[in-house]
């Protein structure tokens, strides 16, 4: 196998290889030893190709032309990383790369894993005197994410906040020791948070979340500005922000908070569970009204094993859109068996109207109403 794990004290050997991915601070923080991770190379002494792994973020750099190394990367993914992730209950991963020629190699590394290709954007904020002062809306208060806040275990959403703190750091305590953040309280509820990620030298990146019930009130912008002020006070001079190109809300928040759009870049992502991954392909085709293609992905997913209720639900709609009502009813019954119970969504689904006059439809509606009455 032409693949070697580089000792952590030698990660600096690949710094130049990953320079084209400078916008991805996860790599820089890993090379600097600021966060844990692994670096796999083709040659321990003089690497010309490398894969950096920070949890389930993967970055490819250097030359994509070493076929032995590329096949070794495939074995690493198939024999080690996928089994580890599935055993640990991990959901998905992302893969970034530079130069662009790596895109052809991804088909080799992830053959039969069916990753999805997408576009992402990078924004950056540098220090400037904006004259901004935190002025939360009435009923909200701004707080640092610190030990005192976390000590109040009665706060709602405290556990999701802790999970986010550990998305990069191995423990909450390590986050408190090496990172920083702000949050907004609304009564006894944490309404949102904005945390530093991949702190390394004079840089950090942003992880931000506003609880759904509190969105569209400008809270994200407020928290991002507050985090920036905190970062500058700590000597940070470059703050990065990544989002999907289609996520207009995130991009808008970044711009309102003083970040500048720096670049777009490609990425791959996939679910570790093959059933989920294939079904997501079906969802994408369904959303594009490519119903036959969607059904093909759903069938492939179901052939791999038991799927989640949303997969059967969307498969039922895709079959209904094709006029295949027997198949639509079969998938719909499986969706209900798997826990789908949204009567309003069911009765309003236009693709399933052809089922409304059938006995099985009446039976299914009666079953769901009975379940709803029992749960009320």
User: Which tens digits make up the pLDDT trace of 268-278?
Assistant: 999 999 999 99
Task: Return the pLDDT at 130.
Answer: 67
Q: Which among 347, 276, 288, 274 has a CA at the least distance from the CA of 318?
A: 288
| pLDDT tens-place string over residues 69-79 | 999 999 999 99
Can you tell me the mean pLDDT for 315-332?
97
Q: Which among 59, 68, 223, 57 has a CA at the least distance from the CA of 140?
A: 223
CA distance 76 to 24: 22
Judged against a pLDDT cut of 80, whether residue 210 lies above it is answered with yes
Dihedral sign from CA coordinates of 67, 4, 52, 90: positive
CATH number of the structural domain 290-375: 1.25.40
Can you tell me the mean pLDDT for 12-35?
95
Q: Which among 285, 236, 289, 287 has a CA at the least distance from the CA of 25?
A: 236
Residue indicated by tokens 């790599």: 27
Dihedral sign from CA coordinates of 180, 183, 189, 192: negative
Helices (H), 142-273: 147-150, 158-165, 172-178, 219-233, 248-256
Can you tell me the mean pLDDT for 97-105?
95
Phi, psi dihedral angles at 128 (to 5 degrees): -155, 155
Q: Which among 239, 219, 223 has a CA at the least distance from the CA of 231?
A: 239
Angle at 53 between CA 26 and CA 243, to 5 degrees: 45
CA distance 25 to 202: 11
Task: Return the pLDDT at 132.
Answer: 65
pTM for the full predicted model: 0.91
Task: Return the pLDDT at 265.
Answer: 97
Task: Return the pLDDT at 128.
Answer: 76
Judged against a pLDDT cut of 90, whether residue 109 lies above it is answered with yes
Helices 248-256 and 219-233: crossing angle in degrees, nearest 10, is 50
Q: For residue 371, what pLDDT band results from cuts at 50, 70 and 90?
A: confident
Helices (H), the chain: 25-32, 67-75, 82-88, 102-109, 147-150, 158-165, 172-178, 219-233, 248-256, 274-287, 291-304, 309-321, 325-337, 343-348, 359-375
Six-digit token string for 20: 């084209």
Q: For residue 135, what pLDDT band results from cuts at 50, 70 and 90?
A: confident
Task: Return the pLDDT at 66.
Answer: 94
Judged against a pLDDT cut of 60, whether residue 1 lies above it is answered with no
Residue 210 burial (10 A CB sphere; 0-12, 13-18, 19+): buried
- In the chain, what percentage of residues exceed pLDDT 90? 93
Residue indicated by tokens 């979340």: 209
Q: Three-state secondary structure along 110-157?
A: CCCCCCEEEEEEEEEECCCCCCCCCCCCCCEEEEECCHHHHCCCCCEC
Question: What mean pLDDT value characterizes the chain?
Answer: 95
CATH number of the structural domain 125-264: 3.40.630.30
Q: For residue 166, what pLDDT band results from cuts at 50, 70 and 90?
A: very high
Residues 6+ apart with CB under 8 A from 265: 23, 96, 119, 120, 121, 122
């Amino acid at each position: 196998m032409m693949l070697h794990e580089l000792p952590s004290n030698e990660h600096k050997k690949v710094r130049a290889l990953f320079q084209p991915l400078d916008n991805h601070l996860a790599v820089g923080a890993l090379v600097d030893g600021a966060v844990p991770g692994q670096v796999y190379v083709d040659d321990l002494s003089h690497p010309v190709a490398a894969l950096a792994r920070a949890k389930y973020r993967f970055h490819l750099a250097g030359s994509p032309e070493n076929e032995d190394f590329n096949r070794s990367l495939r074995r690493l993914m198939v024999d080690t990383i996928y089994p580890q992730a599935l055993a640990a209950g991990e959901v998905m991963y992302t893969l970034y790369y530079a130069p662009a020629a790596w895109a052809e190699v991804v088909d080799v590394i992830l053959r039969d894993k069916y990753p999805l290709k997408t576009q992402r954007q990078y924004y950056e904020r540098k220090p400037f005197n904006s004259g901004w002062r935190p002025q939360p809306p009435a009923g909200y208060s701004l707080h640092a994410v610190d030990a005192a806040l976390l000590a109040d275990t009665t706060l709602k959403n405290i556990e999701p906040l802790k999970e986010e703190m550990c998305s990069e750091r191995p423990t909450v305590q390590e986050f408190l020791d090496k990172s920083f953040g702000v949050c907004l309280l609304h009564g006894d509820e944490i309404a949102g948070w904005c945390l530093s990620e991949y702190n390394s030298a004079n840089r950090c990146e942003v992880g931000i979340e506003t609880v759904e019930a509190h969105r569209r009130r400008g809270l994200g912008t407020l928290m991002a500005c507050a985090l920036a002020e905190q970062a500058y006070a700590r000597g940070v001079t470059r703050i990065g922000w990544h989002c999907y190109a289609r996520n207009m809300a995130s991009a808008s928040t970044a711009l309102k908070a003083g970040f500048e759009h720096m670049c777009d870049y490609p990425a791959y992502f996939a679910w570790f569970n093959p059933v989920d991954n294939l079904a997501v392909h079906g969802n994408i085709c369904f959303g594009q009204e490519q119903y036959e293609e969607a059904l093909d992905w759903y069938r492939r997913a179901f052939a791999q094993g038991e799927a989640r209720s949303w997969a059967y639900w969307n498969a039922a709609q895709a079959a209904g859109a094709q006029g295949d009502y027997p198949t639509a009813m079969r998938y719909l019954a499986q969706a209900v068996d798997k826990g789908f119970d949204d009567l309003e969504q069911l009765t309003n689904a236009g693709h399933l109207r052809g089922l409304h006059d059938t006995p099985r439809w009446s039976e299914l509606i009666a079953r769901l109403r009975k379940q709803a009455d029992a749960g009320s």
